[in-house]
Amino acid sequence: MARDIKVLPFPDWLLNTDYSLVLNEEGVTEDGAPKKSLETSGKCIFSEKAQRVIDAEGKKITLLGKVIIKGDIAPSLKTVSDGVITINGCSYEIHAGYRPRNPNGTVHHTEFEIK
C-alpha cells in the first residue's frame, strides 16, 4: 500500500522583497574572475540579523541576514554557495547556500546566508 507523501506548501504571502541575484559556478575565467552561471531576479523573504562566526580560515566574519527564495532557482548548478545578491539597493556576498528538500525529494526553497 503506497503512502501519499505530503509536500509542504510554500508561504507565498511572505515573498515581499525584490532581489537581483548572480550565482557563480565553480572555477574562474582566464582573467581570474568568477564564472557567472545564473542571473535572475524576483521576490524573496529577507530577514536581517547580525551574527559573527569564524570561517574555515580562522577569520571572523559577520553574517548580515538570510534570504529565502521559493523552489530550486538553479537546478543545473551543483552548489549555490557563491555569488552576489542585491536587496534594497545593497549588494551582499553569499556566504552559504542551502536547498532543503520535501519528503518526496523535490527542493522546497533555496536559502542563502549573506555577508
pLDDT > 60? residue 1: no
More confident residue, 53 or 11: 11
> Is 84 domain-assigned?
yes
Asked if residue 65 is part of any domain, the answer here is yes
Strands 34-54 and 90-98: unpaired
Question: Does some domain include residue 55?
Answer: yes
Counted domains in the chain: 1
Residue 7 is assigned to a structural domain of this protein: no
Q: Is residue 2 part of a domain?
A: no
Strand boundaries in the chain, DSSP class E: 17-28, 34-54, 60-70, 83-87, 90-98, 109-114
Give the CATH number for residue 71.
Answer: 2.40.10
pLDDT in tens, 28-56: 666 767 777 889 999 999 999 888 877 77
Q: Which domain holds residue 31?
A: 12-114
The residue assigned the cell 555577508 is 115
